[in-house]
Amino acid sequence: MNKFAVTINGQGTIAVDDTLLIQDAPATAGSRMLEGFTPLFSAEVVDRLQQKGYQIAGKTHVGEFGLDLVGEFSYTAPQQGTLQGAAALAVAEGDVQAALGVDMNGATRRAAALAGVDFLKPTYGTVSRYGVISCAASGEQVGVYAKTAQDVAKIMTDIAGHDPKDGTCLKTETYDYTPAKAEGKTVAVVKNLVAKADDGVKAKVQAAVTALQAAGVTVVEIDCDLFALANTAWQILMCAETCNNVSRYDGVKYGHRAANYKNIDELYVNSRTEGFNFLTKAVILYGSDVLSKNRYKDCYDKSLRVRRVVREAVTKLFGQYDALLTPATFADGYQAYEVTEAFGKVFTESECTALANLIGTPALATQGVQLFGKAFDEAGLLGLAVALEKKGE
């Protein structure tokens, strides 16, 4: 499989998902809609890495606009079969040392778990979103794929911190990602999520529990319905925000423009019909619906209220536990789905991941499982990942 949409430097050690901009490198976010678009500037995270001396190897394929969890929805996918988290694979196979991805709904974490590498979605506001081909502004965040927690920590240190070009970026200049000691911590396994997973995933969770216990971590089991609630709310918010953010792709200024149109309305409709794939179109329809006058209060506004409720409840949970252990995906591997089934899967699979996007807390996919932590406790999660890497040895 060709993992790179654009190769930049054959000697490079960092891959960058195509949802992030690199100056002069074609950027499509996996969509035909952005065909031929070349940005005038690089994402802040890319600039920071280049200033630190990292070489960018190239831009890795993503599912359209980074929303695709199941690997079916990319303009580049039909030519390559199912698109299996290209950046995660590039890291797993040693093509690069690490990669940057944009976590909109957990597609990056799912890809990492399936490829057997780490992906950290940091706390919202800690990493600049300048230069992200944005979809879900209130929950998306740039994160790092790497083989080890130490490598994740190293790259995170280099990209995180205040950026005046992003109004949602917090004022803190630097963060400490040094993995914290795992011993003595308490981790809660979310039983009801594990129960829904394939056997292979259950085995990975069990292995993680064993490894944590061996490292002196107390492991307890809980049931938690917040994940399902968060998934529904985030689905609504993410679709609404995406519908709005991709509305600028209209065929007028850049990207794909239909060859045939008789007036401006046809230019819009034909360009967008040709440019977007099924998933994005469905997201646009869904997002447009939840924002409409009649539905706003019961859908969008309610989801904002759910976000507050979930945040409070999760904060309470983190008063009792240092982290939550969950699957990063219910499925133990990529499967080929029929297109409408695949669309459904995107929103059932995201039950494992969406909570972190909804409330902005950090989440780490590692060793095929996932750890959720409280805001700004990336170091705690990375410490637990170090314990998991030892696999109880």
Partner 1 sequence: MKYELVIGLETHVELSTESKIFCSCGGHSAANEPNDCVCPACSGMPGMLPIMNKRVVELAVTAGLMLNCEINRYTTFDKKNYYYPDLPCAYQITQINHPICVNGLVNVKTSQGARDIRIKQIHMEEDAGKLVHSGNSSFVDFNRTSVPLIEIVTQPDFRSAEEVVTYLNKLKSMFRSGGISECEEGAMRCDVNISVRPEGSEEFGVRTEIKNMSSFEAIEKAIQYESQRHMDALEYGTEELVQETRRFDDVSGKTFAMRNKETEADYRYFPDANLMPIVIDDAWLEQIKADKPVAVDEKAEEYMAAGISQKEIDLLLSDGKISKLLDDTVALGCDMKDSATWILTDCAGVLSKAGKSFADGVVTAQNLSVIIKMVADGTINRNAGKKVLIAVVEQGADPAAYCKEQGLDRKVDASAIEAVIDGVLAANPKAVEDVKGGKLKAMGALFGACMKELKGAGDPAVIKQLLEQKLAQ
Residues that bind partner 1 (CB under 8 A): 21, 27, 29, 34, 37, 39-41, 43, 129-134, 137-138, 164-168, 240-241, 244, 247-248, 250, 252-254, 264, 268, 288, 291-293, 296, 300, 304
In DSSP terms, 371 is beta-bridged to: 325, 364
The residue type of 391 is K
Residue of 337, 164, 310 whose CA lies nearest to 237:
310
Q: Which residues contact 100 (CB under 8 A, 6 or more apart)?
A: 14, 15, 16, 17, 20, 45, 46, 49, 87, 142, 143, 144, 145, 155, 159
**Which residues are 7's β-sheet partners?**
58
Burial of 162 (0-12, 13-18, 19+ CB in 10 A): middle
- Kindly tell me which of 19 and 329 has the beta carbon lying closer to partner 1: 19
- In the bound state with partner 1, the residue whose beta carbon lies nearer, of 250 and 351, is 250
Report the nearest approach of partner 1 to the CB of residue 5 (Å): 15
- Give the phi and the psi of residue 378 in degrees, each rounded to 5: -60, -40
Q: How far is the CB of 75 from partner 1 (least distance, A)?
A: 16
Minimum CB separation of residue 137 from partner 1 in Å reads 4
CB of 22 to partner 1, least distance (A): 10
Query: Which CB sits closer to partner 1, 195 or 264?
Result: 264
CB-based burial, 19-42: b 16+ in 10 Å, e otherwise: bbbbeebebbbbbbbbeebebeeb
Q: How far is the CB of 159 from partner 1 (least distance, A)?
A: 16
Q: Nearer Cβ to partner 1, position 293 or 316? A: 293
The CA distance from 211 to 334, in Å, is: 26
Q: What are phi and psi of 156, to 5 degrees?
A: -60, -45
Shortest spacing between CB 33 and partner 1, in angstroms: 10
Nearer residue to partner 1 within complex by CB, 58 or 139: 139
Cβ closer to partner 1: 210 or 288? 288
Tell the smallest beta-carbon distance from residue 320 to partner 1 (Å): 30
DSSP label at 160? Answer: B
Give the tokens for residue 229: 């609630």
Nearer to partner 1, 38 or 80 (CB): 38
CB nearer partner 1, residue 211 or residue 240: 240
Residue 357 CB, shortest distance to partner 1, in Å, is 12
Nearest-angstrom CA–CA distance, 54 and 23: 15
